[in-house]
Structure 1
Amino acid sequence: MKARLTFSVNDLAETRFAVSPMWEVVTGCRVLNAAAVADPHRGWADQVRPRLAAAGLDHGWLADMIPPVGHLPDFLNPAPATASPDLSDELAAIEATDPEQVRRDLDRLATERDGRLSSRLRSLHRTPRAYLPRIVTEIETYWQLAMAPYWARIRSVLEADVFHRGRQVAEQGTAQALNELHHTVRWAGGGLHLVQRHCAITRIETGAGLLLVPSVFAWPRVLTRSAGSEPPQLAYPARGIGTLWERRPHERVEALAAVIGRSRALILVELDSPTSTTELAQRSGLSAAGVSQHLTALRAAGLTSTHRAGRSVLYARTGLADALLTAQA
């Protein structure tokens, strides 16, 4: 399928980038709902799927609404109001969605499913306002289990992509930046040409401007969203996805150990992926009580964060800890 989005001078002036937590929620769910998860996200999926299953979210609202392929409900991706909205802001927008928008999305899902919707989605279709708060609550739980422990790492990739594109716009112009978003996206003749089976977007049915949203989980596709008078959104694979989950070299461990102690530096190294106190004790050779004490100190210093996963608590490194552990050129 080919689509063309024409641009006026005003549209170009209103084109902007945004980092959206909800785009990562939706595209991450799509990855998890696939029968098989390809690299680079297989390790993440292997960690997250058991947590979601334990919470019953493997058969929840999101699993029901977000197919491995096909239409993604537009109401789950409201236009980001700022360059980096909080999840709470996007959830408030979802809860306030016009019921007719919800029904349009569900009608399209029904068409793709031979006219069939689950009883849960039929209830949502009848009375969207009664069920949107439940969906928001589920998203909050999903976020804590699947996204929050990894968000510092994901966000750093997304923000680095936006920084790169912004510099490219300044140095080479908007057309060049658009041409390098993805091999299916091309700027020519005053319009953005999309060659992608999953894209169907025209200026007639959208608002002004364009929202460009980098995503780690959209890979390998470009995804679009067009709803009413809002600007169209284009979610594209962010640069650096291939190294997102790689275990990173920590060339400053010795220097950091001299400041915070070898045990705490070791714990930070072991937190390349979110981990419980018990697992950290097993990996590091320290006692569980000692690990707990060190984690408390590291959290107070802003170097770790905690995320509840059922009865367990997962610890993750913060962006500050990543910066301390990674050698700077």
Structure 2
Amino acid sequence: MFEFRLGVEDLAATWFAYSPLQEAVLGLRARRRPSRYPEQQPWIAGWRERYAALDTELLDVLTAPSGFVPDFLTPRPAVPRPDFGGELARMARTPPEVVRADLLAAYPGGGCPLPPVLAAPIDDPAALAALTARIAEALEGYWTRCLAPAWWPRARSVLEADLAHRGRLLSERGAEGLFADLDGRISWRDGVLRLTDSTPVVQALGDSVVDVAGRGLVLIPTLGGLGAQTDIVQDGPPLITYPARGRATMAEGLPGPAAPAASPAASAASPGSAVPAVRAATAAPAGLVGLIGPARARLLMLLAVPASTTELAHRLGVTPGAVSRHLGALAAAGLLERTRHGRRVLYRRSGLGDALTAGRH
């Protein structure tokens, strides 16, 4: 168990961020553990050939069998929305002694020995520096060929929606409500934030008390985690990663078992009158469909999690213009709220919209 002791100044300095490099690295878990990440499998199937052409000898072992990755691969974001290239450059500058320590922490031996590609340079600083450069090159190729074209825009939308939700929760329910909603492993009481991780590797480390001492706390949503986690070794500004809300929507509108493709009839429907089916979980109640129509009912069901016009259009397989018209009508009726993040506008159901989708109209 980890205990983070936060004073008033630490709560004031707590902030949220997401990390494209972390998403790339932690996303490799989905290849090793497909049953735990069903929403990622259609994406992985779609880029199978491109991935096979990469440095898979190295990429396949960046995630240990335990699910851990060496900490140097996921440096703490310096800003709320860093770019992948900047993070990768920071990672590539990691000192060899840090790389060595983090590799050994992720692969502690016994039933989890270092793979040969990582073990060979472990005691040679120059070879470790070369390995780090090779890792950076492999991750850049993975990002460019597999993630950046379509996966990352979808993932970024989910992460942005999570940040919007957390900001709203903090303003409405304060720190206690915020921490209670992050993950079942996290609890908050009397200025102490507790993170209980039952993973054997973490349990073997014993309990750890972290005095935040004015440094603040960074909270990072991720698509690559099944539960809240912190660094294996806490020696920098503290952070906690937690599973992002809405991560299951990553598979919506994609072919595969997790998200059936739309039927020909649905695909041929006009954008203004109907939308393709994406998931059974978003099916609207018949009463709601009768009240506002099928297209707007489907949008309202999807907007339990904030999303942008472009993201909704992609998920539903219609034009952004068609989605925009429906969003405008729903917002004018008081069923949606808008939140601006830079140049992007996210929409989310209002209280009235929640009541309608729950059948309380």
Segment of structure 1 superposing worse, 102-111 or 157-166 = 102-111
TM-superposed deviation, 1:170:
1.6
Q: Which structure 1 segments of 5+ residues have no match?
A: 256-268, 273-302, 305-316
CA 1:174/1:324 → structure 2, altered by over 3 Å: closer, same or farther? farther
Does the aligned pair in 1 maintain the 2:4–2:212 contact within 8 Å? no
Structure 2 residue 178 is matched with structure 1 residue 210: no
TM-superposed deviation, 1:23:
1.7
TM-superposed deviation, 1:113:
4.7
TM-superposed deviation, 1:237:
1.2
Structure 2 residue 239 is matched with structure 1 residue 239: no
Q: Show CA shifts across 1:54-80 (max 9, x none).
A: x144x3323112124243210011110
Helix, strand or coil for the counterpart of 1:187?
Answer: strand
Give the aligned partner of residue 59 of structure 2: 62
Give the aligned partner of residue 259 of structure 2: none
CA distance in 2, matches of 1:196, 1:157: 25
Q: TM-score, normalised by structure 1?
A: 0.71
Give the aligned partner of residue 129 of structure 1: 129
Give the aligned partner of residue 92 of structure 1: 89
RMSD: 3.3
Structure 2 residue 278 is matched with structure 1 residue 253: no
Helix, strand or coil for the counterpart of 1:4?
Answer: strand
TM-superposed deviation, 1:221:
1.9
Give the aligned partner of residue 141 of structure 1: 141
Q: Which amino acid aligns with 1:186?
A: S
CA distance in 1, matches of 2:7, 2:212: 15
Give the aligned partner of residue 334 of structure 2: none
Give the aligned partner of residue 183 of structure 2: 182
Q: Which structure 2 segments of 5+ residues have no match?
A: 255-265, 279-308, 331-361
Structure 2 residue 154 is matched with structure 1 residue 157: no
CA 1:158/1:8 → structure 2, altered by over 3 Å: closer, same or farther? same
Structure 2 residue 19 is matched with structure 1 residue 12: no
TM-superposed deviation, 1:233:
2.0
% identity of equivalent residues: 32
Give the aligned partner of residue 34 of structure 1: 33
CA distance in 2, matches of 1:120, 1:207: 40
Does the aligned pair in 2 maintain the 1:206–1:231 contact within 8 Å? no
CA 1:223/1:206 → structure 2, altered by over 3 Å: closer, same or farther? farther
CA 1:45/1:229 → structure 2, altered by over 3 Å: closer, same or farther? same
Q: Which amino acid aligns with 1:93?
A: R
CA 1:192/1:52 → structure 2, altered by over 3 Å: closer, same or farther? same
TM-superposed deviation, 1:156:
0.7
TM-superposed deviation, 1:40:
2.3
Q: Show CA shifts across 1:154-202 (max 9, x none).
A: 1011001101101211221122111100111111121111122245753
Give the aligned partner of residue 74 of structure 1: 71
Q: Show CA shifts across 1:184-234 (max 9, x none).
A: 11111211111222457531599822111111221x322222656422221
Give the aligned partner of residue 105 of structure 1: 102
Helix, strand or coil for the counterpart of 2:146?
Answer: helix
Helix, strand or coil for the counterpart of 1:40?
Answer: helix
Does the aligned pair in 2 maintain the 1:206–1:229 contact within 8 Å? no
Q: Show CA shifts across 1:79-124 (max 9, x none).
A: 1010000001110110111222111111223424547323321244
CA 1:34/1:60 → structure 2, altered by over 3 Å: closer, same or farther? same
Give the aligned partner of residue 355 of structure 2: none
CA 1:14/1:100 → structure 2, altered by over 3 Å: closer, same or farther? farther
CA 1:115/1:157 → structure 2, altered by over 3 Å: closer, same or farther? closer
Q: TM-score, normalised by structure 2?
A: 0.65
CA distance in 1, matches of 2:87, 2:166: 24
CA distance in 1, matches of 2:221, 2:65: 19
CA 1:322/1:244 → structure 2, altered by over 3 Å: closer, same or farther? farther
Helix, strand or coil for the counterpart of 2:177?
Answer: helix
CA distance in 2, matches of 1:208, 1:87: 25
Q: Which amino acid aligns with 1:163?
A: A
Give the aligned partner of residue 51 of structure 1: 50
Superposition pairs for residues 194-233 of structure 1, below 5 Å? 194-198=195-199, 202-203=209-210, 208-218=215-225, 220-225=226-231, 229-233=235-239
CA 1:227/1:184 → structure 2, altered by over 3 Å: closer, same or farther? closer
Does the aligned pair in 2 maintain the 1:29–1:63 contact within 8 Å? yes
CA 1:205/1:64 → structure 2, altered by over 3 Å: closer, same or farther? farther
Segment of structure 1 superposing worse, 186-195 or 32-41 = 32-41
CA distance in 2, matches of 1:98, 1:206: 26
TM-superposed deviation, 1:130:
2.1
